Structure 1
Amino acid sequence: MSSPPPGAPFVARRLAVAACLVAAPHAYAQNAPADEQVLQSVEVKADWLGPATPEQVRTYSGARSVVSEEQLHERGALNVEDALRVVPGVHVLDETGTGILPNISVRGLNPLRSERAQILLDGYPIAIGPYSNIGLSLFPITMASVESIDVVRGGAAVHYGPNNLGGVLNFVTRPIPGEFSQTLAQRVTVAEETGNMLSDTYYRAGGFLNDDLGLQLQANTLRGDGSREHSSTKVNNFILDGIYFADARNEIRAQLQYYEVDADLPGALSPAAYRDDRTQSQRPNDGFDADMLRGTLTWVFTPSADTQFEWRNFAHDADRTFFFGQNLSGTGNAFDPALPETHVADSPRLFKVYGTEPRLSHRIGRHTFTLGARYVKEEVQFDVNRTALATGAYSAVRAWDFDTDAVAVYASDTMRFLDDRLAITPGLRYEDVRMDFHDERSGAAGDNHAEEVLPGLTVGYQTTDRVFLFTNAQRSLVPVQTAQATRDGDVANETAWNYEVGARFDPRPDVSTQATLFRIDYEDQIQFNAGAARFENLGETRLEGAELQAIWEVGANTRLSATYTYLDTEQLNGPNAGKQLQNAPHHRVSLTADHTLGPWAFSGSASYAAESYSDAANTRKETANGSAGRLPDYVVVNARIGRELKLGQGLDATIGLAVNNLFDEEYYFRGVDVSPVGRVPGPGRSFILEGQLNF
């Protein structure tokens, strides 16, 4: 009999524990009779969310969805937009067609730069400034390295903050396998209208060197062009993972990542140019250049099944620059794509960030206490320079420095009743954020101080073996951002309440459903007005709606799923009182089907988004330059066919062919960031050929 691979005893034990963990933390007893199943106590975990497993989601006290590795692979997700289409409440806009700058919205919150949700990579924040620059103007994630996406829309604000009003999205990279293995994958995407090609190459090698130490290297590169002109893209993403089991109580995890991107940005089009040819670009000088070196280090100490201590540390050194054209002749909007550009600006941002977060979970009787604290230090250089195209004269326009110190302390107590079927968790988070500002050119200085107490309450109740009920209420904070700190007007810190009530119901063993009602009450919502090029305080706003999801396992080989999101938004005061929020469609629907036939796999998905507005004033008739106006509804259909190949001698392969936007639907949204005026086309029909070899 052969011996187990190195690391197998430790990995197997931890996977077995993780598979049954839930946030309470409890697991559903599978060995009890159907009418007597109860929640059992298991090992306490310091991580509130725990692993993104079906068991974890089943008894989580809030709306939560997981896009699994199988779903990502079988549906041939080209980018984040494709991956998240099927998640209720989530709306993604891809401004480049290559996935390097996704704009993610949750429950109608502003999608531009994904600035209204806490985005994590393996549990750590990826925002270039976790407190001062929450907008993801640098998105250091490539889909080939992602195993699953955990989308937590409610109930996590006390333990994960700030900026968690739209929930927490955790992108989970591929884990280190117990036995050494390698993966080589290649994907080529061809845009039908332009013939542009984008190559995506991925390589992974890793495993355990002995019973205690595991290492893994992932390398992902993108080369080529998106679906439009002026979209040349180069991305390098390298991730080195390590895990060390010092003994049965102590575990150390580390990750080192280097991400680099150099890309042309096609930008927005005037309405006339869009109608003439949506694949063209009117922004010949727009581009993006960035790199980030990230490191994380985690020590997990588990002295007993009742106690776990986790000390998390993270740091990154990042440099990102946008290049963008402007018309500074004094006629019209400086970013109007139809006007000739007189200047090209560059906006370098240098970030040095360090964070440390110890947290402890301990169970005493019916109580499980979680205590944590976090300190984050951010140093930011925020510059803008400009070149006159006529003369070549180069001048410094802006040289700002920001120093941010943020301290957070949080505590919660999960109390269990009714034979552990009922879990009630009150919690409290305290945030103290101090930002100092200095203008190197004028000598001006300023500061901003946010100090907030943020309470939360979650309740989960396993009423029967088929029904789980949940409700929660959480208060969230969005600190003032560097781009706002120097502006005139009331554009300071934002606070809001988030409420949920929902149920998961399995009417049959092969059918699972989830329904959630939600409401978000903003006290001071800040939004950028592209037409006026300024931030505006919309004051009190309300976002509410319903999310429905159903999954039907039709036999062993077929899976059908459907989601529906209804959203209603309203500005409650100010000049636009009674009007809707921007980029917040009333209805979103997604349908997916997956079927396997022997070695073959077939999948298809369709997603619908209703019309919406692109500005706070709800301008319906489009302006001449495309800065505002109604956004039409659209339907996007994707399809894929794949086949597994057994090559022998430990070699397995898969090949696939996919079509994205099968019916070549034309849709668009309004400009963003350095190209804020005009229409940004959604990607047209594209063909994807992919292959993967495991050995």
Structure 2
Amino acid sequence: MSFSGKVKPTGLRRRPLSIFITMALMPPMPVAAQEMASTQLNQIVVEGDWLGTPDKKAVKTYTGARNVVDSEQLHERGALNLEDALRQVPGVQVLDETGTGILPNIGVRGLNPLRSERVQLLVDGYPVAIGPYTNVGVSLFPVTLPSLEAVDVVRGGAAVHYGPNNVGGVLNLITKPIPNTFEQTLRERLLIAEGSGHVLTDTYYRAGGFVTDNLGLQFQANLQKGNGFRDHSDTEVQNYILDVDYFADDINEFKAQLQYYDVTADLPGALSPAAYEDNRNRSQRPYDSYDADMWRANLTWIHTPDDSLEFQWRNFAHRADRTFFFGQDLTSGGNWANPEAAASHVADSPRTFHVYGTEPRVTKQLGNHTLMLGGRYVREEVEFDVNRLTLADGSYNDTVRDWDFTTNAYAAYISDTISLLDERLTLTPGIRYEAVRTDYRDENSGALSDNHASEWLPGLTVGLQATDEVFLFANAQRSLVPVQTAQVIREGSVANETAWNYELGARWQPYSNLEATATVFRIDYQDQIQYNKAQNRYENLGETRQQGLELEGRWSPMTGLELGLGYTFLDSEQLSGDNIGKELPNAPRHQASADAVYRTGLWSASATALYAGNSFSDAANTVNEDGMGSVGELPSYTLVNTRLGRDFPLDNGMILNVGVGVNNLLDDEAYFRGVDVSPVGRVPMPGRTYVLEGQLNF
């Protein structure tokens, strides 16, 4: 275990308590690494946190499968968006429906990637889901790629400290930190889709630094405007972030962030197979669109009264309003979502969320034990309406649905990191308790119902520095996903979901320029829920199992050249129900990646490649596609991205970086099945796209 940190501004004393806790909680490092760390301690201010520093050094001794996608990988590998940048991580699957990043579909280890609802998404450690307990699907994603410094992808070992909805792990998105001295960044980016010629502009500005010895301020603005790669994809995004970091004295620090995010977009939706073959860039959903905004705020107090105790109190709140508009055929008697059907009505489904959460956490050092004790309270208030416009006469019905949900969620957790064998071995037993109550009221009929969930979620992580070159880890943890709002409102048999996660792995670094990681994993899922697109209902698949192997290696054979390989083998199976013995949907058995980066002088060049094997799109594992494209096997695909960049030093220490890239170089025509308000048909992933960008740091 490690801790996050940053360089403290001149004039403030470093906090020896936090350094002491950091050394106690970190699994042991090789001697050389320890010597390097000891020379840097007087530069670091640390913050008690289980995941700790989101950098590749922390990954080496973390007691679970973990990757950090750093700033260079996010911004200098030709990725279209955050989803694209995550493709190289073992075990991660991405289905990109827009090319703009506004509605991500990220899955881990065979868990359904649609709307990223099977993984815990955090921003700077705070939950980003529109409803952290009852609406974990990311139907509003207030994140844009330029504002990110790194992404911490933790697939195992974090369930006790971060919950719920972490069966697939935790993705912590780290925004750009406040620099010690005043800095500005201006970036302009153009995405040009080859097939349609559409252009999306992406403008980013950042200014920040410590204005006094103890007060840091930063402002970020990101504006995106233009079209995605398909017809009917006009998109406009605004993202503004204000950060404050205040050191009241040597033992008290206050950090705050305020964000406003707004997006309006036309959604091209899914295509019938015939329409896809004719022109995959067209749209058959002329009435589908999306409008959303969110205010987010968080405040953290970090209190370090002495050398053996650290207290954090994290608070967060958001107000969000998101609406999907979608065409429906309600007169022909056919499937309303059939891409070939002409719409008779246009529905809109506004949801308004008010969410507040508070989470105190204490870390205490007692000999070779480091105790972490925390609690959480989250309240969600959700207004869920459905309205409908009749196209024939223009009449508008604003009482189709008028539902209210109120959720109160309580959690508490405790863990004890025990250091043994001269700190070469760490054992961390822990347990989390979750209690969730959701009350539902139909304002039209007056009907009332409620749902309760309470679970004890134990966990154990083990880390062993077997030699200076080999680190071994193992963990077992239990996770919970409460019944979701979208499941309550549709017919079908659903229940709260629980799962056991297991990992066994090793990291090997025989030389400074060569390293490798191997992880064996297994997920035993109880009551897993899947959405049946054809019948517009949720189904309880019962017990499922995902198990497999993740391999990763990196080698730098010469100065300036770095090579990487990754491979994931996945074996998924439904263990009960009508489809016992069959695979899970959207779960390719094989996935492989490769990348190469070369730097010389002021130039840099990179190439990345991803292969994803074929998979099924439904629980029944239907092979042959039907006429609507609602079911059928999904073909394998290969995506290749390239980028060439150069730095241009300017006067007064300014640096201009100019880059050109090609995304999906081979123009692979990958697709997946419908999602959300367009659940039937083929959804094309972006074709060949050209990237032109320039960034000025001054």
**TM-score surpassing 0.5?**
yes
User: In the TM superposition, what whole-angstrom CA distance separates every residue of 1:628-652 from its partner, at most 9, and x where no partner exists?
Assistant: 1000000000000000010121211
Tell me which of 199, 203, 206 is aligned to 2:205: 203
Q: Where does 1:44-59 land on structure 2 (aligned, <5 Å)?
A: 45-59=47-61
Question: In the alignment, does 2:62 pair up with 1:60?
Answer: yes
The 10-residue stretch of structure 1 (203-212 or 298-307) with the greater mean CA deviation from structure 2: 298-307
**2:226: which partner in 1?**
224
**1:123: which partner in 2?**
125
**2:25: which partner in 1?**
24
CA displacement at 1:466 relative to structure 2: 0.6
Whole-angstrom distance in 1 between the partners of 2:599 and 2:14: 31
The 10-residue stretch of structure 1 (554-563 or 205-214) with the greater mean CA deviation from structure 2: 554-563
CA displacement at 1:23 relative to structure 2: 9.1
Q: Where does 1:73-152 land on structure 2 (aligned, <5 Å)?
A: 73-152=75-154
Tell me which of 372, 375, 378 is aligned to 1:373: 375
Q: Where does 1:261-276 land on structure 2 (aligned, <5 Å)?
A: 261-276=263-278
> 3-state SS of the aligned residue for 1:28?
coil
> 3-state SS of the aligned residue for 1:453?
strand
C-alpha contact (below 8 Å) 1:20/1:27 kept by paired residues: no
Whole-angstrom distance in 2 between the partners of 1:84 and 1:10: 39
Whole-angstrom distance in 2 between the partners of 1:59 and 1:460: 7
> 3-state SS of the aligned residue for 1:149?
strand
Question: In the alignment, does 2:507 pair up with 1:524?
Answer: no
CA displacement at 1:22 relative to structure 2: 7.5
Tell me which of 327, 330, 352 is aligned to 1:328: 330
C-alpha contact (below 8 Å) 2:15/2:250 kept by paired residues: no
**2:239: which partner in 1?**
237
C-alpha contact (below 8 Å) 1:327/1:339 kept by paired residues: yes
C-alpha contact (below 8 Å) 2:240/2:259 kept by paired residues: yes
C-alpha contact (below 8 Å) 1:7/1:209 kept by paired residues: no
Tell me which of 389, 393, 396 is aligned to 1:387: 389
The 10-residue stretch of structure 1 (54-63 or 425-434) with the greater mean CA deviation from structure 2: 54-63
Question: In the alignment, does 2:437 pair up with 1:430?
Answer: no
Whole-angstrom distance in 2 between the partners of 1:360 and 1:615: 45
The change in CA–CA distance for 1:192 and 1:360 in structure 2 (over 3 A counts) is: same
Q: Which runs of 5+ in 1 are unaligned?
A: 1-5
Whole-angstrom distance in 2 between the partners of 1:7 and 1:467: 33
Tell me which of 179, 186, 189 is aligned to 1:187: 189
The change in CA–CA distance for 1:44 and 1:207 in structure 2 (over 3 A counts) is: closer
User: In the TM superposition, what whole-angstrom CA distance separates every residue of 1:491-514 from its partner, at most 9, and x where no partner exists?
Assistant: 021001000000101122211111
Aligned residue type for 1:342: S
The 10-residue stretch of structure 1 (482-491 or 603-612) with the greater mean CA deviation from structure 2: 482-491
The change in CA–CA distance for 1:610 and 1:32 in structure 2 (over 3 A counts) is: closer
The change in CA–CA distance for 1:315 and 1:580 in structure 2 (over 3 A counts) is: same
Whole-angstrom distance in 1 between the partners of 2:566 and 2:257: 35
User: In the TM superposition, what whole-angstrom CA distance separates every residue of 1:93-120 from its partner, at most 9, and x where no partner exists?
Assistant: 1111211111000001011110001000
C-alpha contact (below 8 Å) 1:288/1:323 kept by paired residues: yes
Tell me which of 454, 465, 468 is aligned to 2:468: 465
Whole-angstrom distance in 2 between the partners of 1:474 and 1:575: 28
**TM-score, normalization: structure 2?**
0.96
User: In the TM superposition, what whole-angstrom CA distance separates every residue of 1:613-669 from its partner, at most 9, and x where no partner exists?
Assistant: 000000000011000100000000000000001012121110000000001111100
C-alpha contact (below 8 Å) 1:46/1:370 kept by paired residues: no
The change in CA–CA distance for 1:224 and 1:80 in structure 2 (over 3 A counts) is: same
CA displacement at 1:13 relative to structure 2: 4.9
Whole-angstrom distance in 2 between the partners of 1:677 and 1:520: 29
The change in CA–CA distance for 1:23 and 1:473 in structure 2 (over 3 A counts) is: farther
Aligned residue type for 1:448: N
**1:3: which partner in 2?**
none
> 3-state SS of the aligned residue for 1:8?
coil
CA displacement at 1:19 relative to structure 2: 13
**2:518: which partner in 1?**
515
The change in CA–CA distance for 1:11 and 1:485 in structure 2 (over 3 A counts) is: farther
> 3-state SS of the aligned residue for 2:275?
helix
CA displacement at 1:456 relative to structure 2: 0.4
Whole-angstrom distance in 2 between the partners of 1:574 and 1:460: 38
Q: Where does 1:145-544 land on structure 2 (aligned, <5 Å)?
A: 145-395=147-397, 396-544=399-547
Whole-angstrom distance in 1 between the partners of 2:67 and 2:218: 27
The 10-residue stretch of structure 1 (480-489 or 431-440) with the greater mean CA deviation from structure 2: 480-489
The 10-residue stretch of structure 1 (208-217 or 506-515) with the greater mean CA deviation from structure 2: 506-515
The change in CA–CA distance for 1:289 and 1:633 in structure 2 (over 3 A counts) is: same
Question: In the alignment, does 2:593 pair up with 1:609?
Answer: no
C-alpha contact (below 8 Å) 1:250/1:300 kept by paired residues: yes
Question: In the alignment, does 2:5 pair up with 1:8?
Answer: no
User: In the TM superposition, what whole-angstrom CA distance separates every residue of 1:544-601 from its partner, at most 9, and x where no partner exists?
Assistant: 0010000112233111111100001000011100000000000111100000111000
C-alpha contact (below 8 Å) 2:18/2:47 kept by paired residues: no
User: In the TM superposition, what whole-angstrom CA distance separates every residue of 1:333-386 from its partner, at most 9, and x where no partner exists?
Assistant: 110011111110000000000000000010101110000000000000011111
The change in CA–CA distance for 1:22 and 1:570 in structure 2 (over 3 A counts) is: farther
**TM-score, normalization: structure 1?**
0.96
Aligned residue type for 1:505: W
CA displacement at 1:33 relative to structure 2: 9.6
CA displacement at 1:15 relative to structure 2: 13
Whole-angstrom distance in 2 between the partners of 1:590 and 1:19: 39
C-alpha contact (below 8 Å) 2:30/2:468 kept by paired residues: no
CA displacement at 1:484 relative to structure 2: 1.3
Q: Which runs of 5+ in 2 are unaligned?
A: 1-6
C-alpha contact (below 8 Å) 1:667/1:681 kept by paired residues: yes
> 3-state SS of the aligned residue for 2:577?
coil
Aligned residue type for 2:421: L
CA displacement at 1:132 relative to structure 2: 1.0
Whole-angstrom distance in 2 between the partners of 1:107 and 1:216: 37
C-alpha contact (below 8 Å) 1:43/1:306 kept by paired residues: no
C-alpha contact (below 8 Å) 2:27/2:62 kept by paired residues: no
Whole-angstrom distance in 2 between the partners of 1:20 and 1:513: 29
CA RMSD across the alignment: 2.0
> 3-state SS of the aligned residue for 1:630?
coil
CA displacement at 1:306 relative to structure 2: 2.1
> 3-state SS of the aligned residue for 2:562?
strand
The change in CA–CA distance for 1:33 and 1:471 in structure 2 (over 3 A counts) is: closer
Whole-angstrom distance in 2 between the partners of 1:269 and 1:687: 24
**1:655: which partner in 2?**
658
> 3-state SS of the aligned residue for 2:25?
coil
Whole-angstrom distance in 2 between the partners of 1:690 and 1:488: 48
The change in CA–CA distance for 1:349 and 1:410 in structure 2 (over 3 A counts) is: same
> 3-state SS of the aligned residue for 2:249?
coil
> 3-state SS of the aligned residue for 1:9?
coil
Once the two structures are aligned, what percentage of the paired residues are identical?
A: 61
CA displacement at 1:473 relative to structure 2: 0.4
Tell me which of 600, 618, 621 is aligned to 1:618: 621
Aligned residue type for 2:453: A
The change in CA–CA distance for 1:206 and 1:93 in structure 2 (over 3 A counts) is: same
The change in CA–CA distance for 1:30 and 1:186 in structure 2 (over 3 A counts) is: farther
The 10-residue stretch of structure 1 (305-314 or 610-619) with the greater mean CA deviation from structure 2: 305-314
The change in CA–CA distance for 1:184 and 1:44 in structure 2 (over 3 A counts) is: closer
The count of aligned residue pairs is 685
Aligned residue type for 1:385: N
Aligned residue type for 1:28: M
